[in-house]
């Protein structure tokens, strides 16, 4: 439709709405330029879901709908021009003779030889302009339609991994029991949510596959949400193996074209199973019977830009709308889901043993304070971890080494004036990365601003610059220096920039071409490498210093998950956790892999501090040119909120500078709303923005935030 001088694509969500306009206003409304689809583009339930997202997360309906459609519609289809019956009628053509200039005649002749039509770009290439075709269309001689071009994402090599075929394998008792409960729930055809809490290596994927098979056989479709397919290709591959062509994959590693092709296959009903990352929650599947959210605690389900939805929570709502069974799976459920299970909203199913009764990794803690006292502050590997790595190399077994921090050094510090080199755009210090042998660059992890590491302090010109802290790059270098024959690889955001790089590293790991894999949280994902018998954690407390109420939860999940990567094959596994805070409850409980104890302690903390899941939280981030402007605007909004008629139902905290007070050149102030009544908080925020409309663009509303940095 025309909008000002542009032509834009819109989505009709209601054709029968009563509109009350003056006759003069009606005259100003321009007609629709072209209707792109003969049938509804999005299924009704998906439109409803997107509208629910818009309301719940307080974003525009257009933003939510945009998340539900494949991104670049125009590139995925091609416009075909063909003659109408009238166009073949020489009489009719001649009747139009006076207007029929040479170009139009040429176009008609070109189309005469192609009853199926010719792509418009191809006609353009032969010198027949779209204008000419358009004029013929206006005269009824030519018609346009759209044709879709398809690509198979599996053949383009994005998702590749080895899969152990599951056919004929006997289920463990726990798997069988879980499957029985889930199968019975699916058969009722009613909405229910189950939390499948199974320790690492308990075989959750097998349960998903069998359940999906049951549901699919009953004529219903299945939606599987996974965190990041590039890092955890195993689940997608297992589904592909089991269901072949009946599976479509939706994830961000696909090209726009591939994504769109998959989307249209789903829309046409050619698949019964969709595996995808968070946006796949809007997949246009009909007759939905089952939604599985694997690793439901994973933060990648939350979109950190508008619309700021949580794919897991939207999945639960979709299940409710469409009377489907929802299964949330994890070894370390989020506090939210676990609390919902504890209060009876969800049904918890436990799988407490690994398959074949393999033991969980035995975990030991190394107090690095003692290690530093004895060997100095530059120690990276404790004696115990060193010995353990050496033993694995001798035995031909693999090790994973986790440090959840990238780079060579984490700060450049001046011993003369005490300043640290910071990003000019963000309030964080620059991280040093090696670029070749002697070229070191200090880079911002938020905005990517980079400088070559200077020889002298930019602030005082002193020559006493010192590097502090270390990240994965340093750890990998150190390993190569100590164990010169070991084959070492690194898996972090820096090494997986290239498409397919993550898959390459994972494949080398699976084939045994790597002895020691160093990495960030990426190595803690659901990988199943049977030859890994040792997991070393360098600084278990990296995340605990963050000013985020989920810091302990994140740390517990990360440590439990990474320990869960060891001992998944014949040989038992061992994990060695180095930390400065061996007594912190998240580290203590993770080392005993005691979810119940962690949940109890963490819930108490959330209760005392009034944080989710015991209260709802809204995070408003107000951006400004300078710190003052951001704080002033935030104070204005906070004032409106505190004067809201509903203010008895929630509390308003702040404004305060956000933990990352400056980001990509913008200053950020933060307001928290806490309370039991989400709708009241949302309405109050929207009302405050109605009162200050010019602030709208500068305010990010985050309902149920996953991080508040
Ligand atoms: P989780 O996701 O619970 O950590 P996985 O689904 O990755 O565990 O399963 C762990 C391993 O056990 C995989 O290698 C899988 O192929 C294997 N496995 C799962 N179920 C069985 C079974 N019933 N018998 C034998 N092996 C199984
Ligand atoms: Zn920056």
- Long-range contacts at 416-424 (CB < 8 A, ≥ 24 apart): 416/457, 416/460, 416/462, 416/464, 417/457, 417/459, 417/460, 417/462, 419/457, 419/459, 419/460, 421/451, 421/454, 421/458, 423/447, 423/449, 424/449
- How far apart are the C-alpha atoms of 529 and 568, rounded to whole Å? 7
Instruction: Using the mean position of ligand 2's atoms as its centre, give its distance from the Cα of residue 253 in Å.
Output: 25
Instruction: Using the mean position of ligand 1's atoms as its centre, give its distance from the Cα of residue 681 in Å.
Output: 44
pLDDT of the residue at 164: 44
Q: Does the pLDDT of residue 163 top 90, yes or no?
A: no
- The ligand with the least distance to the CA atom of 450 is 2
DSSP state, residue 286: S
Of 364, 386, 365, which Cα lies nearest the Cα of 516?
386
Confidence of residue 150 (pLDDT cuts 50, 70, 90): low
- How far apart are the C-alpha atoms of 199 and 353, rounded to whole Å? 7
Which of 231, 355, 557, 569 to mutate for ligand 1's pocket (most ligand atoms within 8 Å of CB)? Answer: 355
Confidence of residue 84 (pLDDT cuts 50, 70, 90): confident
Residue nearest to atom 12 of ligand 1 (CA): 203
Which of 177, 203, 239 to mutate for ligand 1's pocket (most ligand atoms within 8 Å of CB)? Answer: 203
Which atom of ligand 1 is least distant from the CA of 204?
A: 3
pLDDT of the residue at 24: 85
Residue nearest to atom 19 of ligand 1 (CA): 203
Over residues 593-623, the pLDDT tens digits come to: 999 999 999 999 999 999 999 999 999 999 9
Query: What percent of the chain has a predicted confidence (pLDDT) above 90?
Result: 71
The answer to whether 606 touches 613, Cβ cutoff 8 Å, is yes
Instruction: Using the mean position of ligand 2's atoms as its centre, give its distance from the Cα of residue 442 in Å.
Output: 11
- List, chain by chain if needed, residues with CB within 6 Å of any ligand 1 atom: 164, 169-172, 175, 198, 200-206, 355, 526, 528
The answer to whether 230 touches 502, Cβ cutoff 8 Å, is yes
Q: Does the pLDDT of residue 651 top 60, yes or no?
A: yes
Confidence of residue 148 (pLDDT cuts 50, 70, 90): low
- pLDDT-wise least confident of 229-243, 515-529, 555-569, 668-682: 229-243
Which DSSP string corresponds to 163-188? ----TTPPPPHHHHHHHHHHHHHHHT
pTM: 0.86
- pLDDT-wise least confident of 376-385, 497-506, 635-644: 497-506
Instruction: Using the mean position of ligand 1's atoms as its centre, give its distance from the Cα of residue 472 in Å.
Output: 30
Q: How many CB atoms lie under 10 A from the CB of residue 156? A: 15
Q: Does the pLDDT of residue 234 top 90, yes or no?
A: no
- How far apart are the C-alpha atoms of 44 and 99, rounded to whole Å? 45
Instruction: Using the mean position of ligand 1's atoms as its centre, give its distance from the Cα of residue 202 in Å.
Output: 6
Across all residues in the chain, what is the average pLDDT? 91
Instruction: Using the mean position of ligand 1's atoms as its centre, give its distance from the Cα of residue 203 in Å.
Output: 3
Over residues 384-414, the pLDDT tens digits come to: 999 999 999 999 999 999 999 999 999 999 9
């Amino acid at each position: 439709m025309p909008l000002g001088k542009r032509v834009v694509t819109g989505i009709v969500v209601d054709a029968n709405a009563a509109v009350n306009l003056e006759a003069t206003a009606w005259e100003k409304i321009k007609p629709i330029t072209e209707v792109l689809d003969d049938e509804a583009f999005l299924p009704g339930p998906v439109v409803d879901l997107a509208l629910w997202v818009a309301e719940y997360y307080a974003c525009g309906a257009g933003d939510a709908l945009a998340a539900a459609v494949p991104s670049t519609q125009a590139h995925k289809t091609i416009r075909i021009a063909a003659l109408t019956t009238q166009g073949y009628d020489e009489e009719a053509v001649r009747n139009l003779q006076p207007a029929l200039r040479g170009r139009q005649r040429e176009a008609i002749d070109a189309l005469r030889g192609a009853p199926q039509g010719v792509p418009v770009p191809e006609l353009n290439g032969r010198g027949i302009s779209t204008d000419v075709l358009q004029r013929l269309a206006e005269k009824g001689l030519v018609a346009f339609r759209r044709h879709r071009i398809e690509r198979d994402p599996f053949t383009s090599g994005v998702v590749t991994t080895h899969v152990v075929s599951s056919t004929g394998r006997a289920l463990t008792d726990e798997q069988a029991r879980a499957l029985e409960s889930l199968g019975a729930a699916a058969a009722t055809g009613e909405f229910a949510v189950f939390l499948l809490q199974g320790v690492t290596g308990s075989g959750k994927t097998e349960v998903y596959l069998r359940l999906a098979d049951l549901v699919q056989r009953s004529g219903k479709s299945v939606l599987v949400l996974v965190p990041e397919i590039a890092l955890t290709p195993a689940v997608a591959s297992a589904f592909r193996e089991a269901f072949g062509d009946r599976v479509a994959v939706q994830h961000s590693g696909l090209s726009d074209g591939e994504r769109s092709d998959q989307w249209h296959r789903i829309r046409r009903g050619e698949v019964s199973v969709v595996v995808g990352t968070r946006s796949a929650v809007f997949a246009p599947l009909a007759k939905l019977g089952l939604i599985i959210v694997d690793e439901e605690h994973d933060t990648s389900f939350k979109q950190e830009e508008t619309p700021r939805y949580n794919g897991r929570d939207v999945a639960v709502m979709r299940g409710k709308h469409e009377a489907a069974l929802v299964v949330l799976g994890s070894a370390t459920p989020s506090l939210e889901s676990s609390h919902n299970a504890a209060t009876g909203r969800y049904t918890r199913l436990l799988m407490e043993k690994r398959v074949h009764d393999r033991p969980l990794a035995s975990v030991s803690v190394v107090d690095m304070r003692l290690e530093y006292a004895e060997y100095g502050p530059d120690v990276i590997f404790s004696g115990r971890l060193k010995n353990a790595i050496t033993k694995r190399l001798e035995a031909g077994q693999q090790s994973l080494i986790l440090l959840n921090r990238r780079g060579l050094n984490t700060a450049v510090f001046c011993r003369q004036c005490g300043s640290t080199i910071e990003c000019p755009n963000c309030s964080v210090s620059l991280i040093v990365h090696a670029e070749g042998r002697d070229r070191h660059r200090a880079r911002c992890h938020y905005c990517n601003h980079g400088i070559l590491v200077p020889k002298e302090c930019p602030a005082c010109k002193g020559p006493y610059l010192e590097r502090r802290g270390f990240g994965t790059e340093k750890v990998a270098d150190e390993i190569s220096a100590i164990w010169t024959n070991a084959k070492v690889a690194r898996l972090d955001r820096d090494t997986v920039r290239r498409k397919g790089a993550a898959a390459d590293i994972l494949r080398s790991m699976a084939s045994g071409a790597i002895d020691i894999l160093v990495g960030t949280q990426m190595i803690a994902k659901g990988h199943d490498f049977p030859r890994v018998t040792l997991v070393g954690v360098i600084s278990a407390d990296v995340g605990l210093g963050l000013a985020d109420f989920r810091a302990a939860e994140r740390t517990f999940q990360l440590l439990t998950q990474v320990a869960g990567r060891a001992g998944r094959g014949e040989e038992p596994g061992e994990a060695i956790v180095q930390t400065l805070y061996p007594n912190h409850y998240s580290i203590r409980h993770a080392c005993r892999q005691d979810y119940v104890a962690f949940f109890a302690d963490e819930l108490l903390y959330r209760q005392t501090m009034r944080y989710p899941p015991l209260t709802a939280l809204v995070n408003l981030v107000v951006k400004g040119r300078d710190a003052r402007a951001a704080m002033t605007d935030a104070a204005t909004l906070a004032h409106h909120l505190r004067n809201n008629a509903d203010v008895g139902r929630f509390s308003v905290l702040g404004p305060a500078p956000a933990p990352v007070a400056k980001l990509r050149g913008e200053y950020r102030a933060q307001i928290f709303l806490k309370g039991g009544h989400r709708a009241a908080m949302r309405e109050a925020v929207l009302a405050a923005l109605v009162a200050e409309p010019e602030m709208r663009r500068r305010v990010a509303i985050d309902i149920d935030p996953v991080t508040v940095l």
